[in-house]
């Protein structure tokens, strides 16, 4: 059995952190589902930017929608929704088989709304309504402005993938926003089964400190932070507050490991996948990481429920001058700015393609 199958049997969901019209058209995504135990996927502006820029799969659709007068964000969301509807339908059998626990795809609200709570709430509801699929998460950042939008969206019945979380404290804030939304639904006599995941970004920790800590600490901060967060996740699920919600029919907000591709060329390309194996969680990984783990990854057991040596490792980083609280805030701020930059680049890419196609050319050469 492939390592991906072993990880699936452990109880961790393997999701693909990628979507392109190419992998939908040529059957690659379907093969990942059947051969590599992939049971969901995530997307973000950078993924779509590369997919549109690096191939001609979208040219006909862009040209047709340009004739209809579509441009900018309106054009992008039409393209993205077309892709995600197809992906959601591929994962629908998994979604149905697991009673809605798995088989999800994710679509992000505009990063330009990052500081606009009311705008995020409105956009999340509109996007979810447009897709008309039960297995679609709307991605909302777990920033101070995003937290009330998460609570309100859950209360409104919109499944939410909380993104851009970097620390245990940020995770707890997201979990509390989710529980407040569920508690309000119960108080209003509404169905408490509204699903959510909380996405913790891992490898960016190690990138941030790679040149400022001793060699013995390289590529250890992200995993230690994940270990602390996993402990808090288990604590939330063991809390009386959660038991009350579960007894009313609510389902856990599952923990999702994001940014799990190895950035250090000297480290194992399956480093984070092997370290973050844990039941009742999700690992969304780039295609390169997924295929590497299927080829030569090793399942070495499950994460320790109490975080293992996470606190001891984090203490070593503190001694080396790393303030993890300040760094978590910095990483979330940089992540928000990065998504905003990627979004603007994506819209520029769409505008350039649209212009080229309107002039009768092909924006890119065909890809096999």
Task: Tell me which residues are annotated as active site.
Answer: 139
User: d(Cα 317, Cα 311) in Å, to the nearest integer?
Assistant: 10
User: d(Cα 237, Cα 182) in Å, to the nearest integer?
Assistant: 14
Helix axes 45-53, 72-97, angle to 10 degrees: 110
Say if CB 283 and CB 227 are below 8 A apart: no
C-alpha 43: how far from its chain's center? 7
- CA torsion sign for 212, 217, 218, 221 is negative
Tokens of 62: 């862009």
Buried b / exposed e over 124-143, threshold 16 CB at 10 Å, is bbebbeebebebbbbbbbbb
Decide: residue 161, CB within 10 A, 0-12 exposed, 13-18 middle, 19+ buried.
buried
């Amino acid at each position: 059995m492939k390592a991906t199958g072993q990880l699936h049997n452990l109880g961790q969901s393997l999701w693909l952190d990628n979507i392109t019209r190419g992998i939908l058209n040529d059957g690659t995504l379907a093969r990942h589902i059947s051969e590599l135990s992939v049971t969901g996927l995530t997307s973000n502006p950078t993924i779509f930017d590369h997919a549109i820029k690096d191939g001609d799969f979208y040219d006909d659709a862009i040209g047709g929608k340009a004739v209809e007068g579509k441009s900018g964000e309106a054009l992008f969301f039409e393209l993205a929704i077309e892709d995600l509807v197809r992906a959601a339908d591929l994962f629908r059998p998994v979604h149905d088989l697991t009673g809605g626990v798995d088989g999800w795809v994710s679509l992000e609200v505009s990063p330009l709304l990052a500081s606009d709570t009311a705008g995020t709430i409105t956009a999340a509801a509109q996007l979810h309504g447009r897709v008309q699929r039960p297995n679609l998460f709307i991605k909302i950042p777990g920033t101070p402005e995003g937290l009330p939008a998460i609570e309100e969206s859950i209360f409104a019945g919109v499944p939410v993938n909380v993104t851009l979380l970097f620390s245990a404290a940020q995770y707890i804030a997201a979990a509390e926003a989710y529980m407040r939304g569920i508690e309000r639904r119960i108080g209003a006599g509404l169905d408490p089964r509204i699903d959510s995941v909380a996405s913790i970004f891992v490898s960016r920790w190690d990138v941030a400190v790679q040149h400022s800590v001793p060699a013995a600490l390289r590529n250890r901060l992200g995993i230690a932070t994940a270990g602390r967060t996993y402990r808090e996740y288990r604590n939330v699920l063991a809390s009386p507050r959660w038991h009350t919600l579960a007894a009313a029919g609510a389902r856990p907000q599952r923990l999702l490991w994001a940014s799990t591709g190895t950035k250090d060329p000297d480290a194992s390309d399956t480093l984070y996948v092997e370290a973050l194996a844990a039941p009742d969680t999700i690992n969304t990984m780039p295609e390169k990481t997924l295929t590497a783990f299927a080829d030569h990854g090793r399942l070495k057991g499950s994460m320790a429920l109490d975080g293992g040596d996470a606190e001891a490792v984090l203490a070593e980083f503190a001694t080396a001058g790393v303030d993890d609280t300040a760094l978590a805030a910095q990483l979330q701020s940089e992540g928000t700015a990065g998504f905003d930059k990627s979004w603007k680049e994506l819209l520029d890419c769409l505008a350039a393609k649209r212009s080229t196609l309107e002039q009768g050319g092909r924006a890119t050469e065909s890809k096999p």
